[in-house]
Structure formats: C-alpha cells, structure tokens
Amino acid sequence: MSERKLPRPPLSPQTRLAPRRRASRSASARLCLVALLALLIPPWALAGAPPNVMLFGARLDDARAFAVDSAASRGWRILSATSGAAVFEQILAGHDEDGVLIAERVLRIYADFAEDSDGSRVSLRAEEVEWPGTENEWRSDVTEHYSENLMKALASLRGKWDARGTGPDRSTAIRPRMGHLTSESRQRAPATVGIWAYAAERYAMTRGCSLTEQATKLEGSGQGWEQHRVFCQNGVQMLVQCRYGDCTTHE
C-alpha cells in the first residue's frame, strides 16, 4: 500500500517574514559591533598608522633635531638618531647592584620622520623591554596602550614648533650633523631632569595633574631615589619622590 502524501499547509505571512527578520537582526548586530569597535579603537589604529603629526615647514633634519632636543629636555635618554629615525628610552623599573642601576624594564619610543611638500611628519611607536641587553630580553609593542600619551607628546611638539617659527636663522641653529647629537642634548637631561622624570610625570597625571610645557625639575637624588617637582596647569606644583621608578607624592 503506497503512502499518501498530504499537501503542505500554506505559509502564513508571519512564517514567510521570519527568515527576513532573523537576517535583519543579524545585520543590525554586526552594525552595532562595528560602531562599538570604532568607538573603542583609536582612529590611528583603524587607519593602520601609528600616532603622528605634521611639523609644517620643517625639513627632515630640522624635525629630527627638534624632536631629539625636546625629548632630551624631558629626561629621555637618546639611544640613537639617524636621518629618518630616533630612539628614546626611559627606565620604568630597576634595582641597585653594587651602586649601579640595573634596568629591569624600560620604555622605548621609536620616532620616524618623513618629509613631504608641506613639511615633515613625525610618527611614534612605543615598546616595553624587559631585562634589556640580556639573554632574557623580552619586547612588547605597547603603542596602543600609550596612544593617549603619544598623541599628547606629539601635540606638544607641534605646539612648540609652531610657536618657535621656521625662519632660516632659527632652523640652521638647531640642525646637528646627521647621526650625531649635540653635547647639550647628551648632557643636559640626566643632570637637570633625572632618570625617573617620566615616571614622576605619569604618577602626577594619575593624581589629576595636567602637565605644562615646563620640564619636570629634579630637586634631589640619592642611591636609588629621586625627588621631582612636576609643574601642572593653573600654577599647581607637585613634589613626587620615586624609588627605582615607583613613585609617590612627597608630603
């Protein structure tokens, strides 16, 4: 006996619309996810480029020399400087060994310079290095983590460049020979700023300090410790004491 096939019931309007509704909800969810990522991810990361700024009217060697001098004045150690790049370093953590400071973790900033018809563009990348110079050295790209700090540094650099002007007499005065640093840039930062200046500024920022263009002042130091005066907006000053990069407000 053959099996009798019954006719399928007709689809109701609600049944026909169900797949469309599911597809619509899926598309809406994807759009919401894209919008959320756009809010969370910095614009430079979406564009595939690191934080950068244009120094209008700057030649390549002018931009490099100006950035190197600015970094040195903020207490950064200048590891290298070539025609199109420079590397700055700050110790984040370390310990004393027979009177010698051993770096356990450092922050390195890689500055790249590119010249075009409008001036020179400065781009920054950040990297944390643990146990630098040893067989246990380990590196991590932290550009995204420090993106806000990098953009503030670039904005400050651009502001100082614009305020300074680009006259021929000034531009030639700051241009050191390619691949070499001026003695002032090499010696000034450790003597007046200190090793832990950047750590002191970061701590001050967590306490509500908005930094000014005035460089942090080293007021005292000893074996493994430094005391800094950090200058904030509205005339506020903070005394910060750092011991091997661990900082606190000095009462």
249 band by pLDDT with thresholds 50, 70 and 90? confident
Question: Can you give the residue ranges of every domain in the chain?
Answer: 49-189, 193-251
Looking at residues 137-142, what average pLDDT do you find? 92
Write the CB contacts of 28 (distance below 8 Å, at least 6 apart in sequence).
none
Distance of CA 57 to the CA centre of its chain: 24
pLDDT tier for residue 250 given thresholds of 50, 70 and 90: low
Measured distance CA(121)–CA(52) in Å, rounded? 7
At 127, the amino acid letter reads E
Report strand pairing: 100-116 vs 119-130: antiparallel
- pLDDT band for 1, please (50, 70, 90 cuts): low
Over residues 180-193, mean pLDDT: 42
Instruction: Please choose, from the candidates 132, 102, 109, 131, the residue with its C-alpha nearest in 3D space to the C-alpha of residue 195.
Output: 102
CATH architecture for segment(s) 49-189: 2-Layer Sandwich (3.30)
pLDDT at 141 over 80: yes
**pLDDT at 187 (0 to 100):** 38
Average pLDDT of span 163-181: 48
Residues 161, 163: Cα–Cα separation, whole Å: 5
Q: How confident is the model at residue 170 (pLDDT cuts 50, 70, 90)?
A: very low
Angle between helices 147-164 and 60-73 (to 10 degrees): 110
Helices (H), 144-194: 147-164, 168-173, 183-192
Whether residue 221 has pLDDT greater than 50: yes
Dist CA 189 CA 77 (whole Å): 8
Amino acid at 165: G
As a whole number, the mean pLDDT across the chain is: 76
Q: What is the pLDDT of residues 20-77, one digit of tens each?
A: 555 556 666 666 655 555 555 554 444 467 899 999 999 999 999 999 988 888 888 8
DSSP string for residues in 56-98? ET--HHHHHHHHHHHHHHTT-EEEEE-SSEEEEEEEEEEEEET
Average pLDDT score over residue span 73-90: 88
- Residue 16: pLDDT band (50, 70, 90) is low
Q: pTM higher than 0.75, yes or no?
A: no
Name 164's Cβ contacts closer than 8 Å, sequence gap at least 6. 66, 170
Residues facing 138 on adjacent strands? 130
Token readout for 227 is 């005391």
